Amino acid sequence: MATGQREIEIKLPVPDAATARKLLRRAGFRVSRRRVFEANTLFDTLVMSLRVSRQLLRVREAGGVVTLTYKGPPAMGRHKSREELELEMSAAPPMAAILQRLGFQPVFRYEKYRTEYGRFGSAGVATLDETPVGVYLELEGTPHWIDRTARELGFGEADYITASYGRLYLDWCQRNGITPGNMLLR
């Protein structure tokens, strides 16, 4: 299955998963996809042409589903907005091999636990992401929905994060004096 759309999102930092679940329940959200482990691998050329052009090519394995994702350059503002194309596959190793044959190499791996939440009658999605560098709520929907939902959860625009998990990881490594590698839970 292939999908193409414009992804509009923000991340919100939360102290821990329990606090995030409480905020979401209080705002009327319920689990729509149970907590699942995600293993993500980003691919790029040897000269990092995708990174330079602010594009992304990812293979994600989550809950028995493998997804190849292309993300276009983000239009930055209060929300991050970018083209997103996805294709579900049956197995990750053949896709990784195809990408490598085309000149792409794995350049960064990151892991997280993700729980997806929805609210009756709402077109937006809230996810709870538990990462090695912190816990985040991610709100994806229209800008109006994101702003309204963030306020309902007790956040303001100053709390919005539009950085990728790769960027958050690099910033975390710098703050903690750690040489960056891969962002792994184990």
Q: What is the pLDDT confidence band of residue 92, given thresholds at 50, 70 and 90?
A: confident
C-alpha distances in Å from residue 126, one per residue of 23, 91, 112, 173: 11, 27, 15, 27
Q: What is the pLDDT of residue 4?
A: 56
Is residue 81 assigned to a domain? yes
Is residue 124 assigned to a domain? yes
Query: What is the Cα–Cα distance from 181 to 70, expressed in whole angstroms?
Result: 22
Q: What sign has the CA pseudo-torsion 54, 9, 6, 116?
A: positive
Determine the residue type at 166: G
Q: What is the pLDDT confidence band of residue 18, given thresholds at 50, 70 and 90?
A: very high
pLDDT tens for each residue of 35-69: 999 999 999 999 999 999 999 999 999 988 999 99
Category of 166 on φ-ψ map: left (φ > 0), alpha (ψ -120 to 50) or beta = alpha
Is residue 98 assigned to a domain? yes
- 115: which strand partners? 128
Is residue 185 assigned to a domain? no
Looking at the chain, the whole-number percentage of residues with pLDDT higher than 70 is: 98
pTM value is 0.91
Length of the chain: 186
Asked if residue 3 has pLDDT above 80, the reply is no
Is residue 25 assigned to a domain? yes
Is residue 76 assigned to a domain? yes
Residue 170, helix vs strand vs coil: helix
Q: Which range marks the domain in which residue 126 is found?
A: 2-175
CB 119 within 8 A of CB 29: yes
Asked if residue 102 has pLDDT above 90, the reply is yes
CATH of the domain at 82: 2.40.320.10
Query: Into how many domains does the chain fold?
Result: 1
Is residue 57 assigned to a domain? yes
Q: What is the pLDDT of residue 91?
A: 79
The per-residue pLDDT of the chain, averaged, comes to: 94
Is residue 182 assigned to a domain? no
